[in-house]
Amino acid sequence: MDLSKHAFFEGRIVPLGEAKVNIATHGFLYGTSVFSGMRAYWSEEKKRLFVFRPYDHFHRLLNSAKMMAMTIPYDEESLIQLTLDVLQTDDWKQDVYLRPTIYKADMGIGVRLHDLKDEFSMFVMAFEKYVKNDSNAHVTFSSWRRIDDNVIPARGKIAGSYANSALIKTDANRAGFDEAIVLDNHGHISEGSAMNFFMVRDGVLVTPPITDNILEGITRNSVIELARSEMGLQVVERSIDRTEVFIAEEAFMTGTAAQVVSVTKVDYRPIGAGTMGPITTKLRSLFDDVVRAKLPKYNKWNVEV
Ligand code: PMP
């Protein structure tokens, strides 16, 4: 893995090797940390790096922290500045992934959230594709259920809840699938292991609502806006049943790491014609243009390094 040479750790930028937490740290022992996964894209045309929607990522991160009774001395704007500093330190000239984390930093035993100090850290890594077959993914319905909002906040990006995502991903991959669709405890589709779900039915783009235990994805939000504004598509947020997917015209999944992954087969059933459909194709190319700062209308989402 091509990791950054420097990281932000305990209030300053340090060489990555110095950014270490003790094995007795609360966040390590109990999964009491919250994080975001952001990307910065290299524009060959402009010879610059652009961070994609950092304000929204940090806003969601601070909301996750709020749910977990964490406070740090930074707001969205200061976190963006700190991100630019970290990226400039290593002078990245390629697509990268950034991992900011807020964690319970005290050492010792004791399950709770209160009366513990919180720290913020961030490292960077070179990053390209997350799902190998991103234009023709074969996915399965996971036998695992998505965490429920009354178990661990589902709309928060909380490290401990990724044990659920890891079970989902590993069982799907070991069974030969690229990814899995996960149902919630009511039997409705929630999302994938770490990506949101969309399908096209009768020309309408449909995705589960934020009340079906999904993570409120920033790529999901971007795709909804692009579908409405650039393609004039109707987008409906409603619960989706399992068998609707089998008869959908198109399906895809979205995430910062995954970007827009075309799902062409679900449990051996072809979706639509069994190849990437026109709506998915168009959204993928629009999204790629937007993240590389090629569409001026969406430059509000690109923060130049
Ligand atoms: N769901 C989960 C559980 C995730 O981890 C992610 C990745 N952050 C997503 C959905 C997609 O969210 P985003 O588009 O903000 O990356």
The answer to whether residue 298 is domain-embedded is no
Q: Examine the domain organization and report whether 57 and 180 are in the same domain.
A: no
pLDDT at 128: 80
User: To test ligand 1's pocket by mutation, which of 38, 195, 291 has the most ligand atoms within 8 angstroms of CB?
Assistant: 195
Centre of ligand 1 from the C-alpha of residue 46, in Å? 28
Residue 53: inside a domain, yes or no? Answer: yes
Q: Indicate if 180 and 89 belong to the same structural domain.
A: no
* Interval 2-23: pLDDT, tens: 999 999 999 999 999 999 999 9
pLDDT of residue 146: 98
How many CA within 13 A on the CB side of residue 76? Answer: 12
In this structure, the residues whose C-beta lies within 6 A of any atom of ligand 1 are: 37, 165, 191, 194-196, 215, 217-220, 254-256
Q: Which residue, 219, 301, 205, 207, is CA-closest to 261?
A: 219
At 275, which CATH number?
A: 3.20.10.10
Give the CATH number, domain containing residue 90: 3.30.470.10
Q: Let me know if residue 108 belongs to a domain.
A: yes
Instruction: Tell me which residue of 182, 283, 202, 279 sits closest to 247, measured CA to CA.
Output: 202
297 is catalytic: no
Residue 186 has what pLDDT? 95
pLDDT bucket at 131, cuts 50 / 70 / 90: confident
Q: Is the pLDDT of residue 124 over 80?
A: yes
Please report the pLDDT score of residue 130 as a whole number: 83
94 and 184 together in one domain: no
Question: 171 and 97 share a domain?
Answer: no
Whether residue 179 lies inside any domain: the answer is: yes
Are 145 and 277 contained in the same domain?
A: yes
114 vs 129: CA distance, rounded Å: 38
Q: Could you tell me if residue 300 is inside a domain?
A: no
Q: Kindly name the residue from 104, 157, 169, 265 that is annotated as catalytic.
A: 157
* Proportion of the chain above pLDDT 70, given as a percent: 100
Look at residue 282 in the predicted model and tell me its pLDDT: 98
- Tell me, yes or no, whether 17 and 86 share the same domain: yes
Distances (CA, A) of 169 to 110, 259, 299: 30, 17, 34
Instruction: Using the mean position of ligand 1's atoms as its centre, give its distance from the Cα of residue 9 in Å.
Output: 24
As separate numbers, helices (DSSP H) first and strands (DSSP E) second, the chain gives: 7, 17
Residues 256 and 148 in one domain: yes
Domain end marker among 102, 126, 150: 126
Atom of ligand 1 nearest to the CA of 36: 8
Ligand 1 centroid–CA 38 distance in Å is: 10
Q: What φ, ψ does residue 243 adopt, rounded to 5°? A: -75, -10
pLDDT above 90: residue 132: no
In a domain, 304, yes or no: no
Q: Residue 47's pLDDT band (boundaries 50, 70, 90)?
A: very high
Q: What is the pLDDT of residue 296?
A: 96
Task: Identify which of 56, 145, 196, 291 to mutate to test ligand 1's pocket (most ligand atoms within 8 A of the CB).
Answer: 196
State the chain's mean pLDDT as an integer: 97
Chain segment 203-250, per-residue pLDDT in tens: 999 999 999 999 999 999 999 999 999 999 999 999 999 999 999 999
Same domain flag for 202 and 167: yes
* 109 CA distance to ligand 1 middle (Å): 30
Q: Does some domain include residue 180?
A: yes
The range of the structural domain enclosing residue 53 comes to 6-126
Does residue 80 have a pLDDT over 80? yes
- pLDDT for the residue numbered 113: 98
Do 120 and 252 belong to one domain? no
User: Which pLDDT belongs to residue 129?
Assistant: 80
How far apart (Å, rounded) are the C-alpha atoms in residues 20 and 40? 24
Amino acid at 279: I
Residue 144 has pLDDT above 80, yes or no: yes
Residue 1 within any structural domain of the chain: no
How many structural domains is the chain composed of?
2
* 181 and 41 within one domain: no
CA of 37, closest atom in ligand 1: 8
Longest distance between any two alpha carbons in the chain, whole Å: 56
pLDDT tens digits, one per residue of 187-203? 999 999 999 999 999 99
Instruction: Examine the pLDDT at 1 and tell me if it is beyond 80.
Output: no
Centroid of ligand 1 to alpha carbon of 108 (angstroms): 31
- Other residues' Cβ atoms within 10 Å of the Cβ of residue 32: 25
At 210 the pLDDT is 97
